[in-house]
Amino acid sequence: MTSAALPRDGATGRGPARTLRQRLRGVAEAAVTPLDLDDVLDVFHPLRRGADLRARIVEVRPETAEAATLVLKPGRDWSGHVPGQYVRVGVDVDGVRLWRTYSLTHGTRPDRHISITVKAIPDGVVSNHLVHRAKPGQMIQLAQPEGDFVLPDPLPSRLLLVTGGSGITPVIGMLRNLFSRRNPADVDIVLLHVNASASSAIFRDELRRHAAAGRLRLVERFDDRDGLLDVEHPEHGLAALVPDLDERLAYGCGPAGLLDALEAHHESRGLTLHTERFRPVVLGETGEGGTVTFGSADGEGVTVEADGATPLLDAGESAGVLMPSGCRMGVCFGCVVPLRSGAVRDLRNGAVTVAVPGETGPEGVPVQTCINAAAGPCSLEIGATR
Ligand SMILES: Cc1cc2nc3c(=O)[nH]c(=O)nc-3n(C[C@H](O)[C@H](O)[C@H](O)COP(=O)(O)OP(=O)(O)OC[C@H]3O[C@@H](n4cnc5c(N)ncnc54)[C@H](O)[C@@H]3O)c2cc1C
Ligand code: FES
């Protein structure tokens, strides 16, 4: 077709030309009226391009008694990720959608499925749901991948990876992708994998196979066999386990105690260390809490008493408020809502944010609810309350 044959805006008096896709959509919309076409498509084709990003659980594979890998078929708009990155997932638990963050653990897969590996923590709402109750066929919400806990390009010649418990998850994603390369990368890798016991070590057998094949040197530490790892110990600490650690680019992911010790160790020697934390570092000392009002624009409101150590996000969710959230550790800003009045305290550094009606403007002051707690009475605006 030449350009002269194309209908132009206004030339026909019928508005802009409609593509074949738009015309088909118009026919489909008419066919499903009074239902909304997107609602109908969500039932039959929820992973289609252009829909809210979701994933279908295709497999739940137990890894240990308390951990499982969920293999997911992501929606067509999934962008792909860099190994080491994480994804936010939205899961409906007892009728409430809760968002949590999980590292991507898959290697390259011909079926383009992705995976996360979840460890159920005591009283953990979402982790227990995913590990013990999620079933193949169920849908979950997905965000696009994020995170900068990734290997550099080009790769260093020597790597030190230190992981504790579920902190192995971003690292297994890196390793699986490295080892599945057509031209294997020439990297000398030491993996120090710390766990409470052998039976709780996620990916234990796979890591041992990689070690047996000469792809990495695996140093396993089990608290029940070896005692708690003392990173600075002259005979049993990090320097003894990895004598050439000064020459290795280091990555660490695991519980706060292990990461704090690693950071202190590397800082004191002027060595570079990249860390990924699953929880924010908060101050030991917190202040007074207060009465928190979660109010929606439609006038609905919920009021709770919160102490000065409880994140506003947790206080709201516990009261049944539909809170926006994401990483829950101050990184993604998925939990930001306007503070209309009162004061909140940043649990990481004690900084207090205050909103005074009439002085702070009609928008209020945006605050991250996952790392702020009440510092006296305060009022937050939430899109909708449950
Ligand atoms: C970047 C990033 C990557 C992550 N990757 C993974 C992963 O690959 N696998 C994985 O299992 N988890 C991962 N997490 C942790 C995960 O997002 C959730 O925090 C965890 O599953 C707990 O959620 P929950 O709903 O079960 O617990 P909640 O119901 O939110 O909390 C229950 C109780 O446990 C405490 N708690 C919350 N989180 C933790 C935690 N991580 N460790 C110990 N206590 C906690 C809470 O303070 C509360 O007292 C990651 C977190 C981040 C920020
Ligand atoms: S939930 Fe990510 S910053 Fe608060």
| Count of domains for the chain | 4
Q: Is 363 exposed, middle or buried, given 0-12, 13-18 or 19+ CB atoms closer than 10 A? A: exposed
Q: Which residue has the higher pLDDT, 292 or 19?
A: 292
**DSSP assignment letter at 146:** B
Residues 39 and 58 in one domain: no
117 lines ligand 1 (CB under 6 A): yes
Do residue 323 and residue 376 come from a single domain?
yes
Query: Ligand 1, closest atom to CA 103?
Result: 8
Among residues 215, 248, 276, which one ends one of the domains?
A: 276
Residue 325, token pair as written in the block:
């959230």
**Does 271 lie in the same domain as 165?**
yes
Q: Quick one: average pLDDT of 2-19?
A: 46
> Count of CB atoms within 10 A of residue 299's CB?
7
> Is the pLDDT confidence value at 229 over 90?
yes
Model confidence at 305: pLDDT above 80: yes
| CATH code, 101 | 2.40.30.10
Cα 378–Cα 286–Cα 282 angle in degrees, nearest 5: 105
Domain-terminating residue out of 276, 304, 339: 276
| 40 lies in the same domain as 59 | no
Q: Are residues 201 and 301 in the same domain?
A: no
List the Cα angle 168/174/175 in 5-degree steps.
85
* Domain-embedded: residue 40: yes
* Residue 365 pLDDT class (50, 70, 90 cuts): very high
Q: Is residue 36 part of a domain?
A: yes
The range of the structural domain enclosing residue 311 comes to: 290-382
pLDDT at 9: 35
Question: Is the CB of 125 within 6 Å of ligand 1?
Answer: yes
Tens digit of each residue's pLDDT (9 = 90 or more) over 87-122: 999 999 988 888 899 999 999 999 999 999 999 999
Same domain membership, residue 98 and residue 39: no
Nearest residue to 261 via CA among 240, 275, 248, 247: 275
CATH of the domain at 354: 3.10.20.30
Residue 314 lies in a domain: yes
In a domain, 10, yes or no: no
Same structural domain, 194 and 135: no
371 lies in the same domain as 304: yes
Q: Is 3 contained in some domain? A: no
Q: Distance from the CA of 125 to the center of ligand 1, in angstroms?
A: 9
Kindly report the protein residue whose alpha carbon is nearest to atom 43 of ligand 1. 121
Residue 275: beta bridge partners? 252
Quick one: 127 and 189 in the same domain? no
Q: What is the rounded average pLDDT for all residues in the chain?
A: 90
Q: Domain ends where: 248, 276, 304?
A: 276
| Ligand nearest, relative to CA of residue 104 | 1
What is the rounded average pLDDT of the residues 174-201? 95
The model's pTM is: 0.85
pLDDT digits (tens, 9 = 90+) for 233-251: 999 999 999 999 999 999 9
CB-based contacts of 221: which residues, under 8 Å, 6+ apart? 192, 193, 194, 195, 229, 241
Asked if residue 94 is part of any domain, the answer here is yes
* Tokens at 267, concatenated: 């800082």
> Does 107 or 283 have the greater pLDDT score?
107
Q: Which residues in 245-360 belong to E strands, given as ranges?
A: 249-253, 273-276, 290-296, 301-306, 336-346, 352-355
Structure confidence at residue 16 as a pLDDT band (50, 70, 90)? low
Residue 252: CATH number of its domain: 3.40.50.80
Interstrand relation of 158-164 and 249-253 (parallel, antiparallel or unpaired): parallel
Q: Tell whether 40 and 63 lie within a shared domain.
A: no
Pocket of ligand 2 (CB under 6 A): 325-328, 330-335, 368, 370
**What's the CA-to-centroid distance between 17 and ligand 2, angstroms?**
43
For residue 303, what pLDDT is reported?
95
What is the distance between the alpha carbons of residues 324 and 308, in angstroms, rounded to a whole number?
20
Distance CA 20, CA 92 (A): 37
Query: Are 166 and 132 members of one domain?
Result: no
Within this chain, do residues 112 and 168 fall inside the same structural domain, yes or no?
no
Q: Kindly state the average pLDDT of the residues 121-125.
A: 93
Task: Give residue 166 CA to ligand 1 midpoint distance, Å.
Answer: 10
Ligand nearest to the CA of 367: 2
Residue carrying the six token digits 């002051």: 365
In a domain? residue 331: yes
Q: How far does residue 41's CA lie from ligand 1's centre (Å)? A: 33
Contact 369 CB / ligand 1 (< 6 Å): no
The pLDDT of residue 1 is: 35
Quote the tokens at residue 131.
């590990």
What pLDDT was estimated at residue 7?
36
pLDDT at 157: 97
The sign one gets for the Cα dihedral 27, 29, 34, 39 is: positive
Instruction: Find, among 193, 310, 205, 314, the residue nearest to 254 by Cα.
Output: 193
Q: Kindly identify the ligand whose nearest atom is closest to the C-alpha of 168.
A: 1
- For a mutational test of ligand 1's pocket, the pick from 93, 278, 286, i.e. the residue with the most ligand atoms closer than 8 A to its C-beta, is 278
- Which ligand sits nearest to residue 100's alpha carbon? 1
Does residue 5 belong to any structural domain of this protein? Answer: no
